Amino acid sequence: MSCSGETVEVNDLIQIRPKIIQQLKKAKYGVADHSTVELCHWTKKSFKNEGDCYKHKFYGISTHRCMEFSPAGMFCENRCVYCWRPMEFYDSLKMEPDKVAEPREIVTKLMEERKKLIVGHYGDPRQDRQKLDESLLPSHYAISLSGEPTMYPKLPELIKYLKSLSQTKSIFLVTNGQEPEMIQRLQDEDALPTQIYLSTNAGDYDSFMQINRPRYKDSWERWNKSLDLLSRLDTRTVIRITLIRDYNNGDDMIPAFASMINRANAHFIEVKSYMHIGRSRNRLERDNMLSMDEVRHFATELVKQSGIFSGMDESEISRIVILQNKKRFIDRWITAYAQTN
């Protein structure tokens, strides 16, 4: 058994440390080896017919049949100031291919963990039982939750496995852009998700270092490589800009963001406010959140200065505005099932 940071190796397989698992379980996570799963806040609201998430509103994904998970639960190369997850536990070490669980094993074990999280809802009369039944068979996968999924060396196989499941309609992958080689591998191995998100939160090198607090020496170069890759990917692409007051929301930042989104030529731009939730409350203030009008202002200026995007929709409760690429146009609604047989 060897150890580092908050993970250990048991029988040559990376595991999250028992004391961390305890804390994650308290936070209603499911854990299997180095992977994590959770019932998203919005999925739980949807069970009670109290609303769906903005991805349902913008793209039509099924909020109550969403499985939010990560194959790299406690691994990340960055320590972003606005991260709501337990990043203080993160490990930055490389996940060696011979030390990680196989995709089928991860999905099978996490589905079991997720079922345990869902079953508890049946006892509550406010819950929509039909939705609970349907949620046991996910149709949408959000590969994000905690850690950086592109650190998992078998990610192409994992996405292909999810695509082979009959109920799979859509797969979203969120990346911090620190592993451009993995993004290229997803393209080369025909394992791209339905939609790939590049987290974008800095218009220049200095604010990138201040906001992301990266571990890699060439982190800025890696992120820019991922940005340019987006323009060549054969799938739906999204740049998600998280705005933090007094960090990156000044009008002086807009020209740099406008040139970045044009370089990536992404299909959609999500402009959203930082949200004062989870562990981020130890690092930032509520005042670091933007109002919806401030988010609208930033998005409107971005439209003016980029010239290829137009406003598509917004969600006030999530403090987000979405822009659509008029030049690299794609239908907003995800209709086709993701399977590859």
66 binds ligand SF4 per the rule CB under 6 A: yes
- CA 85 centroid distance within chain: 12
85 binds ligand SF4 per the rule CB under 6 A: no
Question: What is the total count of residues that contact ligand SF4 (CB under 6 A)?
Answer: 10
Q: Are 161 and 202 in contact (CB under 8 A)?
A: no
The CA distance from 65 to 111, in Å, is 12
Name the DSSP class of 149: G
43 binds ligand SF4 per the rule CB under 6 A: yes
Name the DSSP class of 126: T
The CA distance from 331 to 313, in Å, is 13
CB of 319 to ligand SF4, least distance (A): 13
CB of 226 to ligand SF4, least distance (A): 21
Q: How many CB atoms lie within 10 A of CB 326?
A: 10
Q: Between residues 142 and 266, which has the closer beta carbon with respect to ligand SF4?
A: 142
Alpha helix stretches (DSSP H) within 143-282? 155-164, 180-188, 205-212, 219-230, 254-264
Mark the segment that binds ligand SF4 (CB under 6 A) among 19-27, 62-70, 106-114, 271-279.
62-70
The dihedral region occupied by 28, where left means phi > 0, alpha psi between -120 and 50, and beta the remainder, is left
117 binds ligand SF4 per the rule CB under 6 A: no
Q: Between residues 141 and 220, which has the closer beta carbon with respect to ligand SF4?
A: 141
Q: Between residues 43 and 199, which has the closer beta carbon with respect to ligand SF4?
A: 43
55 binds ligand SF4 per the rule CB under 6 A: yes
x/- mask, ligand SF4, residues 130-169, rule CB under 6 A, reads: ------------x---------------------------
Mark the segment that binds ligand SF4 (CB under 6 A) among 12-20, 61-69, 159-167, 320-328.
61-69
List the beta bridge partners of residue 310: 324
Per CB under 6 A, the list member of 63, 135, 248, 273 interacting with ligand SF4 is: 63
2 sits in which H/E element: strand 2-4
70 binds ligand SF4 per the rule CB under 6 A: no
257 binds ligand SF4 per the rule CB under 6 A: no
- CA 178 centroid distance within chain: 14
- CA 327 centroid distance within chain: 25
Q: Between residues 14 and 173, which has the closer beta carbon with respect to ligand SF4?
A: 173
Q: Return all residues near 218 (Cβ < 8 A) that are at least 6 apart.
A: none
Q: Between residues 142 and 323, which has the closer beta carbon with respect to ligand SF4?
A: 142
CA angle (340 as vertex; 148, 74 as ends), nearest 5: 15
40 binds ligand SF4 per the rule CB under 6 A: yes
Q: Return all residues near 260 (Cβ < 8 A) that are at least 6 apart.
A: 200, 203, 227, 239
Mark the segment that binds ligand SF4 (CB under 6 A) among 8-16, 36-44, 122-130, 300-308.
36-44
Site residues (vs ligand SF4, CB under 6 A): 40, 42-43, 53, 55, 61, 63, 66, 68, 142
